[in-house]
Amino acid sequence: MKKLTLKLNDRTPETLSMKHLGQYITHLSDMLGKVEHVHFDSVSKGSAMLNVESEELHYQKVLTHVREVPNGMGTKKQLSAHRSLRQLMDEDGTGGAILNDADTQILSFRKRPDDEKPLMINKSGSVQGRLYRVGGKDDTIPVSLEGANGETLRCEAFIDIARGLLSLLFKQVRVSGQGTWERLPEGGWKLKKLKIESYQELDTAKVGNVVGQLQSIGGLKWADMEDPHGIARDLRG
């Protein structure tokens, strides 16, 4: 067995809540992949260090998962787990790192300064994904799409637009309107909310062609792109 460690720089076992400990273990397991070959071992003293052990035969593949996830490469579950680990560390006011069996850092998580507020902008834009939720009781109806990496894209629409979207439930759509966007610490932008002004159904065959084109220009690294939805739109033509 070979060791991997998630080190939380500003937390100790005594200051880490049981709830967050369980969440760290769950998200770490999901991010590493090969869950049947990776086993939780212990929490070390000092800085909270969550130790896991991987079967040696699968260790290099697990390391590859860890190195690729920050570049947007991996399954939806792994990418979502990486985002969840960052969010947990922000909530705990800490940064961290994943160390290999030689205690060499192979992935770092930046600590967000206490007084740092995320940069937010309001601008027109569009996003695309699988429409999976339209519903609510207010005058503006919550609308949710599943993005390229499995992330939730939160939108809202007036009743007449929401009524039209209902016919496209579980289909690939592009929605456009006035949005609020947050600058991420590692670069790129995250949609906080989009007020839908227009929408269109996407041809799923063309969506597949876009993915192929992105792969042909160096891999599908969605998280590295400043405006991935805009790039996909331009490739589609």
In this predicted structure, the answer to whether residue 215 has a pLDDT above a threshold of 80 is no
38 with 51: CB under 8 angstroms? no
Domain range summary for the chain, segments of one domain joined by +: 2-109, 120-202
Considering only CA atoms, which of 43, 27, 24, 46 is closest in space to residue 35? 27
Note the pLDDT of residue 91.
87
Task: Indicate the burial class of 138 (C-beta count within 10 angstroms; 0-12, 13-18, 19 or more).
Answer: exposed
**Token pair 């969840």 is at which residue?**
84
196 Rama sector, left if φ>0, alpha if ψ -120 to 50, beta otherwise: beta
- CATH number for the region 2-109 comes to 3.30.70
**Token pair 């995250």 is at which residue?**
190
Each residue's pLDDT tens digit, 19-33: 999 999 999 988 987
In this predicted structure, the answer to whether residue 162 has a pLDDT above a threshold of 90 is yes
- CATH number for the region 120-202 comes to 2.40.50.140
As a whole number of Å, the CA-based R_g of the chain is 20
- Selected residue with higher pLDDT from 234 and 159: 159
- Selected residue with higher pLDDT from 231 and 197: 197
